């Protein structure tokens, strides 16, 4: 070091973790949400681009997707925000027992969602190979499914992690809180996709 240090400020009293935007990982997760949000926005833009090629949407003779599975999925998704908010609150107050319980709930909700999602794929009434309409519908649903799977996997791992001695570490509560944040992203992005898959093909034919 060429210059001699002059000790100006002691930082040893600073905390070692914090929630929300003070945390480093919050910025990482936010950046990934922006990236994935970018994917969704561009896929949706492609959807409208392809839609503009068609006279009607869904193009005949294809029927618009069946509503049941998708709507059930949407309702379950919306309902999941209740335990999700609870988990966020519990993490912010370092309530380990509650976090552990709610993580089980969230994992269970994920399994239910997968069942609905499987029926959704089955109720699209079009194959991805049929035409561009089918391709983009499948792309949207597939893309969103990858997000549900990712966050579900993350929740599962967190649930295991919080049952180990690591659960005692306050920093892990930041992880839980950020997982809850990501889940919000997953269901928020679903809402426009739900409209695009299930409702727009009904309105434009």
In the complex, the smallest distance separating the C-beta of residue 37 from another protein, rounded to whole angstroms, is 9
Q: SS3 of 204, please?
A: strand
Which lies closer to another protein via its Cβ, residue 122 or residue 164?
164
In a 13 Å sphere around the CA of 8, the CA atoms on its Cβ side amount to 3
Name which of 74, 150, 79, 81 is nearest 117 in CA terms: 74
11: helix, strand or coil: coil
Quickly list DSSP for 79-124: HHHHHHHHHHHHHHTT-HHHHHHHHHHHHHHHHHHHHHHHHHHHTS
Of 36 and 120, nearer to another protein (C-beta) is 36
* Shortest Å, Cβ 129 to another protein: 4
Q: What is the DSSP string of 23-73?
A: SHHHHHHHHHHHHHHHHHHHHHHHHHHHHTT-SSBSPTTPPPPPHHHHHHH
Between 81 and 169, whose beta carbon lies closer to another protein?
169
Q: Which residues bind another protein (CB under 8 A)?
A: 1-18, 21-24, 27-28, 31-32, 34-36, 38-39, 42-43, 46, 49-50, 53-54, 59, 93-96, 128-136, 138-139, 149, 153, 157, 161, 165-173
- CB of residue 71 vs another protein: minimum separation in angstroms? 26
| Residue among 146, 76, 142, 81 at smallest CA distance from 113 | 76
- Least Å distance, CB 198 to another protein, is 20
Q: Which is nearer to another protein, 77 or 136 (CB)?
A: 136
CB nearer to another protein: give 38 or 108.
38
Rounded least distance, CB 45 to another protein, Å? 8
């Amino acid at each position: 070091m060429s210059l001699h240090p002059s000790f100006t400020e002691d930082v040893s009293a600073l905390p070692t973790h914090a929630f929300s935007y003070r945390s480093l990982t919050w910025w990482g997760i936010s950046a990934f949400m922006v990236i994935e949000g970018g994917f969704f926005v561009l896929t949706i833009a492609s959807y409208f681009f392809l839609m503009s090629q068609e006279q009607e949407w869904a193009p005949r003779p294809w029927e618009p997707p069946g509503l049941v599975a998708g709507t059930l999925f949407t309702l379950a998704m919306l309902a999941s925000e209740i335990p999700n908010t609870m988990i966020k609150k519990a993490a912010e107050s370092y309530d380990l027992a509650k976090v552990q319980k709610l993580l089980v709930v969230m994992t269970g909700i994920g399994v239910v969602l997968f069942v609905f999602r499987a029926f959704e794929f089955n109720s699209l009434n079009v194959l991805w190979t049929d035409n561009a309409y089918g391709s983009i519908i499948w792309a949207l649903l597939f893309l969103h499914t990858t997000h549900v799977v990712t966050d579900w996997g993350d929740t599962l791992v967190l649930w295991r992690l919080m049952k180990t001695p690591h659960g005692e570490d306050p920093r892990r509560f930041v992880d839980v809180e950020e997982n809850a944040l990501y889940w919000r992203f997953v269901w928020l992005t679903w809402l426009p996709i739900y409209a695009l898959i299930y409702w727009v093909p009904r309105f434009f034919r």
